[in-house]
A and B are shown apart, each in its own frame.
Chain A
Amino acid sequence: MSRRTYLIKRVLQAIFSIWIIATILFFLFRMGLPDPTAALITEGLNPEQRAAVRAQFGLDAPLWQQYVLFLTNAVQGEFGTSFSYRAPVSEIVWERLANTMILMLMAIILAYGIGVPLGAWLSWRRGSRTDTAGIFVGLMFRSAPMFWTGMIAILIFGVWLSLMPTSGMRTLPYDADGFWDKVLTLDFLWHAVLPVMIVALYYLGSPLLIMRNTMLEVYGEDFIEMARAKGLRERDILYKHAARNALLPVVTQLAVTIGLAAGGQVVVEVVFSWPGLGREILNAVRTSDFPLAQASFLIMAAFVITLNLLVDILYTTLDPRVSFR
């Protein structure tokens, strides 16, 4: 199989996956979730009035028609109007996605920025107390649920020490035009400190351990022995030769993590009241806001699938041992 056909095949597979997920979601939501107009009863609407609202939402058409409409619109990047916000879904979803991504990317960069060199260093000190302690700490933050570490962080830094804001992205009210204007402020960074720290600590374990273990494997390879034989300094061997060769698994893991980041960490968004996509999807499902829920989930899925695809392509480029199957 040529490289080109392989790539085309993978892209088609990715599109197929997205379609399958979209279809399952569409029917799962319509069949499984309660009528989105149910809540209007408590506002005093009678059955006829509710029927009118259902028609307005486009829920009176046969299911297959709704499905076809959904697919044709989705292909054009159009997801309809949110039932609860009465505003275009794409607008809401992109805004929330941006909020989630900025939090997650900051955390991931921090985690990998610290985790990778730390892992390399631990491998250097393998078997020592520092090594054990490093593994212990990495695994500990991996084992502690983020909602809990978040709550504890709020308790200590927010409540007891009153050092940091504990909810939201910004101090209200404020004046801003556009997304970047909102984000590039000290106030925003100040709000982001705690959540970014919590997510980063959770993510820290995986680059740390992967880096450490791959380094251990790399040490056994011939070229390291060669370098040693040449009398190079150990530090140079570590960072110039071994680390470079051990990076591939870490980069893979990084790509996968970024892909999953769109799904966000719902609990972190909940604990820190971060207006991200994860919280939005939870709300959308709870209020049977089909268009919003579908779009949010689909975009998350597309993100994951695209990043996975990129990882595969990366592999075929970087590692000639991988065959095109």
Chain B
Amino acid sequence: MNLPPFFRAAAGPLKLMVQDRLAVIGLCVLGFIIAMALFAPLIATHDPRHINEIEDGSVLTRGADGWELGESLGPLALNDADHRGADALIVGRGATVWERDGAQWRRVEMPVSTDFNAVAFGPDAGALIVGERGTILSLEGGAWRAIDAPAPADLRGVAWIDASSALIVGAGEEIWRLDLPEGTITEIDSPVGRGFSLRSVARDADGTLLAVGERGLAIRYDPQTGAAVLDRLGSSRDLNHIHVAPGGAALVTGERGTLLRRAGPDANWITDPAPDTRALRAGWIDDNGAAIAVGRNGIVMEWDGAAWQLVPTESERHLRALLIEGENWLALGSDRFVTRTAPPSREHWFGTDHLGRDLFSQNVHGSRIALLVGFLGAALVVLIGTNVGLIAGYYRGRTETVLMRTVDVMYGIPFEPFALILVLLFQPSLLIVILAVSLLTWRTVARLIRSQVLSLRERPFVKAARVAGASDLRIMYLHIFPNVMPLVFLELAIIVGVSIIAEATLSFLGLGPPHAISWGGILHDARLSGAWRTAWWWNLPPGIFIMVTVLSVFFISRSLEVVANPRLRARQ
């Protein structure tokens, strides 16, 4: 291979470019973007597609101006709380137990490491904690004792029957009676027996116990007879929690904003309309008509005597439990919640999108598709365009007519709608996107190269080569081509810019390669979610990246233009 002409042709532009300040800036910026694309996985702080969720021991306190988020109690979700007098306990996942210590909460070390689901203080002394895998813990004389369970059931609720016995319910429809201090457990037959999950239990005013669970299941246990019977509360929704006030007012909360309220011990259960249809996880009611329910996404509803009112909270957290002591109201949470459309923070430098995905990482990864499509598309365009131009210009005659008529027809096709239709016809994929941005663009290159070749083929050195017996191919590619190289480079640079914008446009319209992260795609998501009107951190960076990349390419192309067009060079 005879390379030197190629090198000679390439060296010129480079030398000239180094003299142009804008071109140098362009080269540096482009180099930076290319480095970003190459090392994207290393630079990105997160997996760009990962939905970031956090679990947190959140505590919300009701203050004068509504509910406010306080300092978290550890990183794990808090599931239940109870109090007696000044004593209070909060239990949660991963054997979390917090004990009231004056105005503070103190972490208590436990003998097991399972998740705790419920806690209940005894009427006079003692306390019980139940949890997954048959965990039952009893507080006796200041120390926690583990009680052996007959099965590793997922225990969800506990309520005291009297000072020395309690009822425990579980997710496999377990109904266990626990007698202290021996710690003997009696399994009570459920009237349903289909393994439906029971989620909460409370002692009713008449001394019986009422357990609630999925599909509207309600089971009443009478300690006198020792039997459990089916009760009907008037809902087939999953019920999550029951609370009964001493005087007999009761509140059951459940999925889909289910609120079942009973005004007194003999009153009927009423299904209240809820102002929000998301899941409610805990409720509290007293005999004077005050009531509150909390649930997913920081929902807090308060009963105003006639209807449930949604109380604004500042939080996205999922509330799971309530601790109500006089004027002191706490709402506790939270299992994994998504940090949606969060502004930039130390954890997420460019903030997060509507699914809590890290935008910095997305922007970094987005450079890959842009450059891939930009350079591959441009290479394809230049490859086709240059060859068509060379062949048409060199051979002339019928070959030229056919090729240039084709180019003429292509000039009649509007680029943007055509690219859109092409992608719609063939389903988005990387290949189709590259084809869509390059299939029409080569028309310009072909015309330009052809007109150059037309004049070059009449030059003496070409004639000389022909006389010397060089083949057509040899003349075309070894003698003529090096002379159109500057023009080819110029076109390459311009088309890289055009392709990057074209790809971004397709992606913005949702026609980019599926599940690929691109700058246009980030903007597409932003617009689709409707949140971009407030989330400036979402739509600002991708556009800046596109602009800077394309601009740097244009700067480079400008100095290439000087190389390609000697008339310009003379004047600068």
A and B touch in the complex (CB under 8 A): yes
A159 proximal to B (CB < 8 A)? yes
Asked if A151 contacts B532 (CB within 8 A), the reply is yes
- B453 CB, nearest partner CB in chain A, Å: 15
**How far does the alpha carbon of A29 sit from the alpha carbon of B539 in the complex, in Å?**
34
B-facing residues in A272-325 (Cβ within 8 Å): 278, 281-282, 285-286, 293, 296-297, 300-302, 304-305, 308
**Could you say which of B421, B505, B539, B555 contacts A152, with CB atoms under 8 Å apart?**
B539
Asked if A282 contacts B420 (CB within 8 A), the reply is yes
Asked if B414 contacts A219 (CB within 8 A), the reply is no
For residue B504, which residues in chain A have a CB less than 8 angstroms away from its CB?
145, 147-148
Question: Could you tell me how many residues of chain A have their Cβ less than 8 Å away from some Cβ of chain B?
Answer: 57
Chain B 547-572 interface 0/1 with A at a Cβ cutoff of 8 Å (1 = within) = 11111001100100000000110111
B-facing residues in A160-213 (Cβ within 8 Å): 213
For residue B497, which residues in chain A have a CB less than 8 angstroms away from its CB?
143
Asked if A139 contacts B416 (CB within 8 A), the reply is no
**How far does the alpha carbon of A154 sit from the alpha carbon of B421 in the complex, in Å?**
27
Asked if B550 contacts A278 (CB within 8 A), the reply is no
For residue A262, which residues in chain B have a CB less than 8 angstroms away from its CB?
414
A21 proximal to B (CB < 8 A)? yes
- Chain B binding surface SS class: helix
B7 proximal to A (CB < 8 A)? no
Using A148-B546, A266-B420 as known contacts, say yes or no to A155 and B414 having CB atoms under 8 A apart. Answer: no
- Chain A binding surface SS class: helix
Using A140-B547, A143-B547, A143-B550 as known contacts, say yes or no to A263 and B414 having CB atoms under 8 A apart. Answer: yes
Asked if A266 contacts B509 (CB within 8 A), the reply is yes
Using A132-B22, A143-B551, A155-B539 as known contacts, say yes or no to A17 and B414 having CB atoms under 8 A apart. Answer: no
Using A32-B426, A145-B505 as known contacts, say yes or no to A263 and B523 having CB atoms under 8 A apart. Answer: no
Using A155-B533, A266-B509 as known contacts, say yes or no to A301 and B551 having CB atoms under 8 A apart. Answer: no
Using A151-B532, A220-B571, A267-B505 as known contacts, say yes or no to A145 and B413 having CB atoms under 8 A apart. Answer: no
**Could you say which of A127, A135, A301 contacts B414, with CB atoms under 8 Å apart?**
A301
A-facing residues in B410-466 (Cβ within 8 Å): 411-418, 420-421, 424-426
Using A32-B425, A143-B551, A151-B523 as known contacts, say yes or no to A216 and B414 having CB atoms under 8 A apart. Answer: no
Asked if A144 contacts B533 (CB within 8 A), the reply is no
B543 proximal to A (CB < 8 A)? yes
**Could you say which of B415, B426, B527, B554 contacts A142, with CB atoms under 8 Å apart?**
B554
Using A263-B414, A300-B414 as known contacts, say yes or no to A17 and B409 having CB atoms under 8 A apart. Answer: yes
- B572 CB, nearest partner CB in chain A, Å: 8
- A271 CB, nearest partner CB in chain B, Å: 8
For residue B540, which residues in chain A have a CB less than 8 angstroms away from its CB?
152
**Could you say which of A21, A145, A216, A285 contacts B501, with CB atoms under 8 Å apart?**
A145
Asked if A282 contacts B509 (CB within 8 A), the reply is yes
Mind listing 10 A-B residue pairs with CB under 8 Å?
A: A32-B426, A143-B497, A143-B546, A147-B523, A148-B546, A159-B533, A271-B527, A285-B421, A285-B425, A297-B414
